[in-house]
Amino acid sequence: MRPRIGVLPLYDSKKQTLWINPLYFGGVEQAGGLPLLLPLSEDPELWDEYLESCDGFVFTGGQDIAPGIYGEETLPECGYQAPLRDNQEQYMLEQLMGMDKPVLGICRGIQMMNASYGGTLYQDIFSQAPSHVVHRQDKPYELPHHQVKIRKGTMLYDILGCETLSVNSMHHQAVKTPAPCAVVSARAEDGIIEAIEFPEKRFMLGLQWHPEHMWQDYASARRIWSAFVSAAIE
């Protein structure tokens, strides 16, 4: 039986609808997993049911994270937030730290992981950490746009087997201070943190780039999805 992978949805508050880029599902499926789109709810009992029902979890991209989660006031440059997502995702991540089920956080996902576990974020890298590196590219999103340096000795290095990787980039927030239990496993040329992991856990990896857009064309993205789904089988 394929491992069941819970995928956290994106939320449109104006239309009050959930949605998902099907490329997230494709990344899970081609790696041998069964993707399940999880509802958003205000009921913690349902959150616990989701946690028990799935073998691994993907925390997806989307809105900015409320700065109050990491103890800061909201700056004017901080974008639209989604409290419904923040509340559910923070709770689930806190529980998953103890459950030790595999977690893959992408874009907003890495940011929520870091904030939930005691780290901080740049609310807007363009005003708080300006650089020559373009962190928000135009379409096509599957094309790499800048390089990251991968730290030897990390799980990410073991998965990819390389020190430098070309990645896509679509963000304006980023990890500022890593969570105390996190290890930085990749940085962009300008020093912006592009990946964190939690070495005491079976598989807990956050990526600032978007491997869901890249798995069809790049073996490196497929290796990430395969490592994640394989961890959910163990």
In whole angstroms, give the CA distance from residue 226 to residue 220. 10
Which one-letter amino acid corresponds to residue 30?
Q
* 107 in active site: yes
Q: Indicate which residue of 54, 78, 89, 107 is catalytic.
A: 107
Q: How far apart are CA 54 and CA 5, in angstroms?
A: 6
3-class DSSP state for residue 17? strand
Tokens representing residue 7 in the block: 């995928």
Query: Distance between CA 152 and CA 157 in Å, rounded?
Result: 6
CA 26/CA 22 separation, integer angstroms: 6
Distance from C-alpha of 87 to C-alpha of 75, rounded to nearest angstrom: 20
212 is catalytic: yes
List C-alpha distances in Å: 93 to 34, 96, 110, 117, 219.
Answer: 20, 5, 11, 8, 28
Annotated active-site residue 54? The verdict is no
| Active-site annotation holder among 135, 171, 210, 213 | 210
The set of catalytic residues is: 107, 210, 212
